[in-house]
Each structure stands twice: as structure tokens, then as C-alpha cells.
């Protein structure tokens, strides 16, 4: 830039992201929650590469081992039947198998069985099979959050793309997309998810797909409204005048200007999808049997609770409550920071 020496420095007005960060910084609750979310995300990355909770399926404790602070379970009463004492009656004279016992003992001695010591207590207890509940909760967090975030990405991508086209082009394209939106909106959400689940089956990628394909409508509506607002603004007309193509106007001119709206919406979607995944997995329509998520943990916990083993329920609830609370408060702070007009609407 050719700025003559001594001229006043060109004052650039504050960008939307800078302004947002300034507002976000002053929101202490939002900041703390963002830190919690980042800690969770780090934990998830570490769990995904196998740093922690890789062996969540190993049966490291006794079945239903209680959490450490409760201490080991009292030995169960063995009953009133007296165990006979003294040497066994010598039956070798009449036992037809007696001559072969020695041979069998020798052969058995060739194989070594080692008894793996199983922990009496674990930090957060063990489940029905003796698997460490803490590892399961960490692994479950990984899967549940992954599903929530991926599904939100799918829904956001779909909603943004369709919303951008509907808003920018209007006319026939807009009418068609509005029709599609109306069709998806006409069916109650949970029923739509069930219908998709009925045909697509189970598994992590399937859940992502189901939630993403059914959850894009709200975002579509908002992006469309933004694009309608922006498409005739002066900067877009100027871009057209200097020969910017349709694609470049949509994606490099308007999209960055509405991206804050999309980001806020997406963070709200994550929370909704995490909750939906938990319920789907509980019902057996979610992640497969080989995986663990908060939902499958809750499904197991229900039977355990009746027997008094409450720790798996507590662990899954605790992890989920902390993450979802932190994430929703962070999303609220994000919304206040990025879109002050929306403040207080929820």
C-alpha cells in the first residue's frame, strides 16, 4: 500500500470476529465453559488415538465392583451347609478311571493357566462384566460427542447449501426447496428419525446420517432468510458488477457474512443431536453392540440400578451433564457474542 509518510494510519473498523471475541472474553461463564469443553475435546482426541480407555472392553475388575471410595463388597454368606472335613474316602479300588489320573495330571501340567487378579474396587466401579466404568464413560463420551458433532456438521452442510441456494436464487429453485422443507417439517421430528432408522439400520455412521438428514430444517430456514437479506446488498451487487461468478458471490462474498449465524445454530444442533443419540442408542437404534456410548451405558444401568449398582448410571449422567451444560452455556455465550440481536430469545 502506498501510504505517504506522516499520513494518519488507516483506521480499520473492528471485524466481526474481533468484536465477537471481545464480547466473548468478557463473559466469564462462557469462558469457563469453553475451557471445560476444550478439556473434554482433548480427552476425546486422546481416547480416539488410543491414549486412554483403549482397553475399555477388558474385564479388569470383579463383576459389579463398587467404586473405590465405597470399599470392596462384603463377602456373601456361603450358606448353612457344613463343608465336610477330613480326608476323602479312598475310592481308587473301585474307580475304573483311577489308573489314568496320573497321566491326565501330567498332561494337564503342560498347560499353564494364569489367574489374572481382578480388582475388588475400581475408581468408578465396574459393570456387570467387570469392565471399568471410568474407561467406558471416557470411551462413551468419545462416541457420543463424535456422533453429535459429525451429525451437526452434516446437518449444517446440508442446511447451509440448500438455504444458500433457496435464498440466493429464489424463483423455481427456491420454491422447490421450500416444498422440500415443508415436507420435512410436516413430519414430527422423532417420527422422521424413526422412519429413517427403520430403513438404515444401526451403527455410528448410520446415526450420524439419520440425525444429519433429519435435522437440517431449522438451519436451512435461517440461512435462507439471511441470504434473501444479503443478496441485494450493495457489496453483492458490486461483486456482480466486477464479474464475480454466482458461486463466488454465494460462497466467498455472502457466506462469510452469515457464517456467525451458522456457527451459533450449529452449536445448538450439537447439543440436540447428543441428546438424540443417547435416546436412539438406548432404544437399540443407535450405535452398534461393539461400541459404547452414553446411551448404551444408560441402557445397561437400568438393570443394574434395580440390583443396587448405581455407579454406571452416575458416571454416564455425570459426564453427559457436565459436557452438555458446559456446551450449552458456551453456545449461549457464543450467540450473545456473535449475534447480539438474538440475546434473550431462548
Partner 1 sequence: MAAYLIRRLWQMVPTLFGVVLLVFFLFKYFGGDPAEILGGLNATPEQIAAIRQQLGLDQSVWVQLGIYFKSILSFDWGKSWATNEAVGHLFATRLPATLTVMLPILILDVLIALPIAMWVAYRRGSLADRTIMVITTVALSISFLVYIIVGQYLFGFQLGWFPVQGWSDSVWTNLITYTPLPVLLAVMVGLAPQTRLYRSFFLDEMGQDYVRTARAKGLTENTVMFKHVLRNAMIPILTNIGLALPGVFVGSFLIEVFFSIPGLGREVLLAVNRSDYPVIQAVTVYLAAITMIINLLVDVMFKVVDPRVVLK
Name the site residues for partner 1 (rule: CB under 8 A): 179-180, 182-184, 186-188, 190-192, 194-200, 275, 278-279, 282-285, 294-295, 298, 301-302, 305-306, 313, 317, 320-321, 323-325, 328-329, 344-346
Q: Smallest gap, in angstroms, from Cβ of residue 279 to partner 1?
A: 6
Residues 6 or more apart whose CB falls under 8 angstroms from that of 341 comprise none
CB 141 within 8 A of CB 47: yes
Nearer to partner 1, 239 or 284 (CB): 284
Nearer to partner 1, 154 or 258 (CB): 154
Q: Smallest gap, in angstroms, from Cβ of residue 165 to partner 1?
A: 18
Nearer to partner 1, 60 or 270 (CB): 270
Nearer to partner 1, 111 or 179 (CB): 179
What is the grid cell recorded at 332? 449461549
SS3 277: helix
In the chain, how long is the greatest CA-to-CA distance? 117
Q: Smallest gap, in angstroms, from Cβ of residue 12 to partner 1?
A: 35
Nearer to partner 1, 62 or 158 (CB): 158
Q: Smallest gap, in angstroms, from Cβ of residue 21 to partner 1?
A: 23
Nearer to partner 1, 173 or 305 (CB): 305
Q: Smallest gap, in angstroms, from Cβ of residue 201 to partner 1?
A: 9
Nearer to partner 1, 211 or 258 (CB): 211
In angstroms, what CA-CA distances link 125 with 107, 308, 310? 39, 12, 9
Nearer to partner 1, 149 or 236 (CB): 149
Report the run of H or E that residue 138 belongs to, with start and end: helix 133-169
Q: Smallest gap, in angstroms, from Cβ of residue 135 to partner 1?
A: 21
Residues 6 or more apart whose CB falls under 8 angstroms from that of 19 comprise none
What is the grid cell recorded at 247? 458461486
* Bridge partners (DSSP) listed for residue 132: 126
Nearer to partner 1, 70 or 303 (CB): 303
Q: Smallest gap, in angstroms, from Cβ of residue 328 to partner 1?
A: 6
**Phi, psi for 67 (deg, rounded to 5):** -60, 155
Q: Smallest gap, in angstroms, from Cβ of residue 249 to partner 1?
A: 30
What is the grid cell recorded at 323? 459436557
* Bridge partners (DSSP) listed for residue 285: none
Q: Smallest gap, in angstroms, from Cβ of residue 162 to partner 1?
A: 14
**Phi, psi for 61 (deg, rounded to 5):** -120, 175
What is the grid cell recorded at 126? 465396574
Amino acid at each position: 500500500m502506498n501510504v505517504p509518510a506522516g499520513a494518519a494510519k488507516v483506521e480499520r473498523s473492528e471485524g466481526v470476529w474481533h468484536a465477537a471475541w471481545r464480547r466473548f472474553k468478557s463473559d466469564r461463564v462462557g469462558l469457563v465453559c469453553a475451557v471445560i469443553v476444550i478439556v473434554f475435546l482433548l480427552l476425546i482426541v486422546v481416547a480416539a488415538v488410543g491414549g486412554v480407555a483403549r482397553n475399555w472392553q477388558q474385564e479388569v475388575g470383579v463383576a459389579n465392583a463398587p467404586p473405590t471410595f465405597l470399599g470392596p463388597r462384603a463377602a456373601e454368606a456361603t450358606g448353612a451347609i457344613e463343608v465336610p472335613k477330613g480326608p476323602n474316602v479312598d475310592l481308587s479300588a473301585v474307580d475304573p478311571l483311577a489308573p489314568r489320573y496320573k497321566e491326565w495330571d501330567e498332561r494337564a501340567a503342560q498347560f499353564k493357566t494364569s489367574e489374572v487378579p481382578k480388582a475388588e474396587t475400581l475408581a468408578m466401579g465396574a459393570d456387570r462384566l467387570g469392565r471399568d466404568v471410568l474407561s467406558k464413560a471416557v470411551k462413551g463420551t468419545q462416541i457420543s460427542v463424535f456422533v453429535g458433532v459429525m451429525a451437526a456438521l452434516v446437518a449444517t452442510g446440508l442446511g447451509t447449501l440448500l438455504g444458500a441456494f433457496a435464498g440466493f436464487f429464489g424463483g423455481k429453485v427456491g420454491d422447490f426447496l421450500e416444498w422440500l422443507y415443508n415436507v420435512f417439517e410436516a413430519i414430527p421430528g422423532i417420527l422422521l428419525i424413526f422412519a429413517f432408522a427403520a430403513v438404515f439400520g444401526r451403527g455410528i455412521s448410520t446415526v450420524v446420517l439419520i440425525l444429519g438428514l433429519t435435522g437440517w430444517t431449522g438451519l436451512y430456514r435461517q440461512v435462507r432468510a439471511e441470504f434473501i437479506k444479503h443478496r441485494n446488498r450493495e457489496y453483492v451487487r458490486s461483486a456482480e458488477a466486477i464479474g464475480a461468478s454466482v458461486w463466488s458471490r454465494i460462497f466467498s462474498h455472502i457466506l462469510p457474512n452469515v457464517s456467525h449465524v451458522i456457527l451459533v445454530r450449529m452449536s445448538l444442533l450439537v447439543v440436540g443431536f447428543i441428546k438424540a443419540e443417547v435416546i436412539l442408542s438406548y432404544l437399540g437404534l443407535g450405535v452398534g453392540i461393539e461400541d459404547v456410548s452414553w446411551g448404551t451405558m444408560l441402557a445397561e444401568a437400568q438393570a443394574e440400578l434395580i440390583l443396587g449398582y448405581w455407579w454406571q448410571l452416575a458416571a454416564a449422567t455425570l459426564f453427559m451433564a457436565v459436557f452438555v451444560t458446559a456446551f450449552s452455556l458456551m453456545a449461549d455465550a457464543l450467540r450473545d457474542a456473535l449475534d447480539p440481536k438474538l440475546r434473550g430469545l431462548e
